Amino acid sequence: MTDTVLEFARKLPTTEAPWRGGRALCLACRNYWPGAAPVEAERFECPACGKMEGVWTNIVPNQVPKGSTVWQCGCGGWHFWVNGEDKAIVCCECGKEQRW
Ligand SMILES: [Zn+2]
Ligand SMILES: [Zn+2]
């Protein structure tokens, strides 16, 4: 994993870009790990499967408060992004627009 981080750093235009650390989730293989990546990075490499599908997450399934409802896509994904143009909520994993 250390090699991955260093390699990623070399691809940045400047070495002064701020980094952040936190809990990361791989959208491809559902691996969770304590990660570190440049702040601007929207996706970064998963240490488990090697795909550039890592995203920051503050919620993991076993930390969701009991009794709360969590929306989940039909594909099993539960990370979404909001399209800025039409405000559509789209699944990060399968790309399907969510309707309810
Ligand atoms: Zn992965
Ligand atoms: Zn989905």
Q: What is the pLDDT of residues 6-52, one digit of tens each?
A: 455 455 555 567 787 788 888 888 888 888 887 778 888 999 999 99
CA of 30 to the centre of ligand 1 (A): 6
- Ligand lying closest to the C-alpha of residue 92: 2
Q: Which residues of 7-20 are buried (b: 16+ CB within 10 A; e: fewer)?
A: ebeeeeeeeeeeee
Tally: H helices and E strands in the chain:
1, 5
- Ligand lying closest to the C-alpha of residue 72: 2
Of 6, 51, 47, the closest CA to residue 27 belongs to 51
- Ligand lying closest to the C-alpha of residue 54: 1
The whole-angstrom separation of Cα 75 and Cα 93 is 8
Q: Are 66 and 34 in contact (CB under 8 A)?
A: no
Delimit the domains of the chain by residue range.
1-59, 68-100
CA of 53 to the centre of ligand 1 (A): 7
- Ligand lying closest to the C-alpha of residue 27: 1
**Reported pTM:** 0.48
Give the residue, 21 or 87, on which the prediction is more confident.
87
Give the residue, 76 or 86, on which the prediction is more confident.
86
